[in-house]
Amino acid sequence: MQPLKEKIRQEGKVLSSEILKVDSFLNHQIDPVLMQQIGQEFARRFAEDRITRVLTIESSGIAPSVMAGLVLGVPVVFARKRKSLTLTDDFYEAKVYSFTKQETNSIVVAKTHLTEADKVLVIDDFLANGQAAEGLIEIVRQAGAELAGVGIVIEKSFQEGGKRLREKGIRVESLAEVAALSEGKVTFVGDNE
Ligand code: G4P
Ligand code: NA
Ligand code: NA
């Protein structure tokens, strides 16, 4: 998605060979116009899929998801992060391990917000190792809902998440695919040089 890639080139900060900072439009400050274009692009890619709900995770997944939900005309549910698990029958729950933070957290969704009648589009801001996406997919499975696919704003293709999901037959639509981060420069998949 061209406007997104241009924004990443202009404002993205390469913090290391693994981390891209995009606080000026996605993770701290939000660019509503770009976010609207992102939502339209997700909606276009999943237009034929009869989506009934968008599922994401707090906090940075919410903005692109709301824009997609607006265009698709469906509710947006965001999983909440929990430190410890208070077991209850009212929630679907999955464990998410973060390689970046080296800790496991629970993510939960109230059963009232996702049912077996749903066809779900999972959206997140970043795809790195895929742990968050896999947690959301586990929640879709627990609900007995159908997974249409996963929409990602920025996929870091040099990490394993995208490969892991696609190998399971899951449809992954990433709007920007970062091939490498080096010497302060972002290289996208498909860049010639
Ligand atoms: P994974 O889910 O793909 O396995 O990723 P990981 O555990 O490594 O991600 C932990 C957090 O770091 C997530 O945000 C994820 O979106 C974010 N993240 C991963 N790689 C990058 C990156 O290169 N740049 C930036 N800016 N973020 C990255 P989170 O903790 O859930 O925070 P938030 O949603 O509240 O922002
Ligand atoms: Na994030
Ligand atoms: Na995220």
Q: How far apart are CA 41 and CA 107, in angstroms?
A: 27
130 labelled binding-site residue: yes
pLDDT string in tens for the chain (193-residue length):
999 999 999 999 999 999 999 999 999 999 999 999 999 999 999 999 999 999 999 999 999 999 999 999 999 999 999 876 666 789 999 999 988 889 999 999 999 999 999 999 999 999 999 999 999 999 999 999 999 999 999 999 999 999 999 999 999 999 999 999 999 999 999 986 5
pLDDT score for 89: 83
Measured from the CB, is residue 13 less than 6 Å from ligand 1? no
Cα Rg of the chain, angstroms: 16
Contact at 8 Å (CB) between 156 and 129? Answer: no
**ipTM > 0.90 (yes/no):** yes
Which residues have CB under 8 Å from 59's CB, separation 6+?
none
Question: Considering only CA atoms, which residue is closest to atom 18 of ligand 1?
Answer: 126
Angle at which helix 32-45 crosses helix 2-11, to 10 degrees, equals: 140
- Whole-number Å distance, alpha carbon 126 to ligand 2 midpoint, is 6
- Whole-number Å distance, alpha carbon 102 to ligand 2 midpoint, is 15
* The amino acid at 180: A
pTM: 0.96
Pairing mode of beta strands 119-127, 53-57:
parallel
The number of C-alpha atoms within 13 Å of 12 and in the hemisphere containing its C-beta is 23
Question: Considering only CA atoms, which residue is closest to atom 15 of ligand 1?
Answer: 126
pLDDT score for 98: 87
* Three-state SS at 153: strand
Question: Considering only CA atoms, which residue is closest to atom 23 of ligand 1?
Answer: 19
Q: Which domains does the chain have, with CATH numbers?
A: 37-180 (3.40.50.2020)
- Distances from the Cα of 54 to the Cα of 96, 114, 147, 154, 191, angstroms: 19, 10, 10, 17, 31
- Distances from the Cα of 160 to the Cα of 3, 88, 124, 156, angstroms: 25, 33, 16, 8
